[in-house]
Structure 1
Amino acid sequence: MESAGSQAVNRLSPSPARGDVGPSATLRPERNSIVPPYWQRQDRNDSRLSWNSVENGSRPTPIRLEDHTDEGSEQCKALWAKHVSIEDYVIVSGTAPGLGAYVVWNITVETLDGGPMKIIKRYSEFESLHHKLVTTFPHAVGSIPPLPPKSVVSRFRPRFLERRRIGLSYFLNCILLNPEFAGSPVLKEFLFS
């Protein structure tokens, strides 16, 4: 089986000035084509790990998967949400034009046992949740996605708000569908306050 790199080298034409056509011939690209350097044939040795596994017939240790969907599983008990979505938002205007305005996000949490929960939150409440999760679970910071960025200039523009809606929805799904965070008092405080 030939790699993409060797196929590209085969399309090259030998240098007409030298006249030799063998494997030691200097290859030059056709007149109207440009050949990137990574298309050129590279002589590489097989990696030591691949060679040893083929030679010895041994295989790497498989990844072990665990099923936490059993009713008696501790992990399953912590999960109670099925899906989170943020359908829309409302811009609440302040007392004076342009002052004190903010955005409220309408969140729907589909639960495993009951119907959907409707929640209304501001971005500042998401920031507070993120901070409390990082403080409470310092070992799991890699599992906590970042919040979408702030913007003073475009904070009420539809395109910016749509990107923020998608980012907040992703954040909540990652938090609520993680068994470690789902049963935490920090998340319950965010949802039920």
Structure 2
Amino acid sequence: MDLTAILGSNNKFTEITPSNPNNLLCEELVRKNMGVKTDALSAVKLDPAVLEAQITIEATNNMTYCEPDEAINEEVVKRETPAAERLDFEETLNSMHRNALLNLTSQQFALLMIYVSNLRKQRVSFQKRTECAFCKNSGESAAWYTSHALRDRKGRVRCPMLRALTCPLCGDTGDRAHTLKYCPNNSNWRI
């Protein structure tokens, strides 16, 4: 995107483009002709896109062209946060959280509890869609039973272990596979 501004003063028009270093009198012209305050201009100067510009103005108002690497020579120093500062920050957050909960009205608290119960219901339904109860109850690893669901939306079995199982009473396997407890022909295991 080519940004071009044409500023006029005293019947003179100056074209200012980012790629033309000879016409960059931006600060003076914009402030005079457009009434932009210095605060806004300094905020624009701190913008990362402006910092990466290829044009710099020296203190003597001489226009010079330099490469982007030369314009920004600051070294980035990585600083690890000391454990004491992290602990203070966590304590501050915990106290703010505690104060926020203690300052809730009864109506706000009731709404919060309704929201929490809805989140719990959503989590349970999400777990049913993403966890296989058969593999979980069989003692398989969490990585295995969370990799698939027991059944799909149409009620067909998706679990590879249950699909391989054959019911000893009715002989169902595959999409209609089930354990002995859930066999439609078994009346002893019904709850």
Question: Which of structures 1 and 2 has the bigger CA Rg?
Answer: 2
Tell me, yes or no, whether TM beats 0.5. no
Structure-2-length-normalised TM-score: 0.22
Q: TM-score, normalization: structure 1?
A: 0.22
Higher strand proportion, which one? 1
Looking at secondary structure, tell me which structure has more helix per residue: 2
Instruction: With a CA cutoff of 8 Å and minimum separation of 6, indicate the structure with the bigger relative contact order.
Output: 1
